[in-house]
Amino acid sequence: MKIPYINIKKQYKIEKKRLLQVIDNTLSTGDWVGGSEIEKFEQNISKICKTKYCVSLNSGTDALTLALHLLGVRKGDEVITPPNSFIASTSVIIHLGAKPVFVDVKKDQNIDENKIEDKITTKTKAIMPVHLTGRMCAMDKIMKISRKYKIPVIEDCAQSIISKFKNKMSGAWGDVGCFSAHPLKNLNAIGDSGYLTTNNKNIYNQIKNLRTQGMEENRDNVKNFGFVSRMDNLQAGILNFRLKNLKRVINLRRKNVEIYLKNLNLNNVYFPIEKKSEFNTYHTFVIQVDKRDKLKRYLKKKGIDTAIHYPVPIHLQEASKFLGYKKGSFPVTEKQSSQILTLPINQFLKKSEIIYICKSINEFYSKNI
């Protein structure tokens, strides 16, 4: 049996006829940069995320960059964020000349909200929690800290479209929510794409201006020097098409998790069970285990592809040496980096395939390999 970690080929095969029609319809309008699909997509996302505004952009990374820039993060400033995310969560801070101030995570891999206040200084300009794996952070407590110190919050929602915490949507808690529509995301384009949500009209208007070189609508006047960070009309058309199926995709992934939890021996595997306050969308399904690397090799021999998100914490990357962090700086993150293993969770998995994965993992530990 061969079980791929992701299955974009299967998605295309299923969608091909309808997707090619969407592409043809969109390109036939002649609106390749800007167009009706952009406006439609932004309205759709605002409705889904229950925010007043959405701005389509060319990547989740640009969404973070523009949000930080607009909120005044500059050279010498500090931004609080976890050290276990994808590298982009930190690189955007570095490129603005600011310093990432890391806060260790909890057992569920999300930032430990109880450790944030200790890291706040007069230089702190933003708090940036990351909703890793599709599980939201404890946003009620984080927003309480935000209000207390008057520090804006940027939600890194790259992995959490339509996730909820206490029945409130990802991207609707902070001052800004930043999303990715990379091909590996639950809502995926056919290339890099991203978007930003907010309830602040001023932020909305300024981000719209910044994404198009700072040009006014007549394109003759420039109020602020901006960036080129637009989403193409074609990508918006594809995302509008795939939005119709998003809830079904999430439900299938959630059902896959149920199958995993019924068939895995949880004495050997740790997985943070969903709380009543959470609605998790499972961009990834990450277990924590001993002998992780041996298990990964064993599963590979069994035809099961897996991944690690992420094997080297950001503070221990070579690029981060100048920040002065060392091994032992964030013990929970570091321990998890040696134990986490991402199992296939895509919506095209068969129940028999998930059971086969579970049996293989249980077998590995029963044999004490």
Which residue is listed with tokens 């298990």?
295
Quote the CA–CA distance of 320 and 100 in Å, as a whole number: 10
Instruction: Record the tokens describing residue 205, joined without a space.
Output: 């208007």
Q: Are residues 51 and 200 in the same domain?
A: yes
Quote the CA–CA distance of 20 and 234 in Å, as a whole number: 11
137 within a domain of the structure (yes/no): yes
282 within a domain of the structure (yes/no): yes
Residues of the chain below pLDDT 70: 369
| CATH code where residue 195 lies | 3.40.640.10
Q: Are residues 98 and 210 in the same domain?
A: yes
Q: Are residues 113 and 166 in the same domain?
A: yes
Burial of 355 (0-12, 13-18, 19+ CB in 10 A): middle
Q: Are residues 204 and 110 in the same domain?
A: yes
pLDDT, position 369 = 65
269 within a domain of the structure (yes/no): yes
Q: Which of 189, 221, 243 is the last residue of a domain?
A: 243
Quote the CA–CA distance of 184 and 268 in Å, as a whole number: 28
Which residue is listed with tokens 């930043």?
178
Q: Which of 205, 227, 243 is the last residue of a domain?
A: 243
Q: What's the pLDDT tens digit per position in 265-276?
A: 999 999 999 999
Residue 172 gets which letter from DSSP?
S
Please compute, for residue 3, the number of CA atoms within 13 A of its CA located in the half-sphere on the CB side: 27
Residue 302 sits in which domain range?
Answer: 246-366
| CATH code where residue 348 lies | 3.90.1150.10
Q: Contact, 336 vs 105, CB < 8 A?
A: yes
Amino acid at 323: L
Instruction: Record the tokens describing residue 156, joined without a space.
Output: 């890194």
Q: Are residues 133 and 187 in the same domain?
A: yes
98 within a domain of the structure (yes/no): yes
Q: What's the pLDDT tens digit per position in 115-144?
A: 999 999 999 999 999 999 999 999 999 999
Q: Which of 34, 65, 35, 89 lies closest to 196 in space, CA to CA?
A: 65
Quote the CA–CA distance of 349 and 344 in Å, as a whole number: 8
Q: Are residues 221 and 255 in the same domain?
A: no
218 within a domain of the structure (yes/no): yes
1 within a domain of the structure (yes/no): no
27 within a domain of the structure (yes/no): yes
- Whether omega before 5 lies within 30 degrees of 0, making that bond cis, reads no
Separation of CA 16 from chain center:
26
Q: Which of 253, 280, 272, 360 lies closest to 7 in space, CA to CA?
A: 253
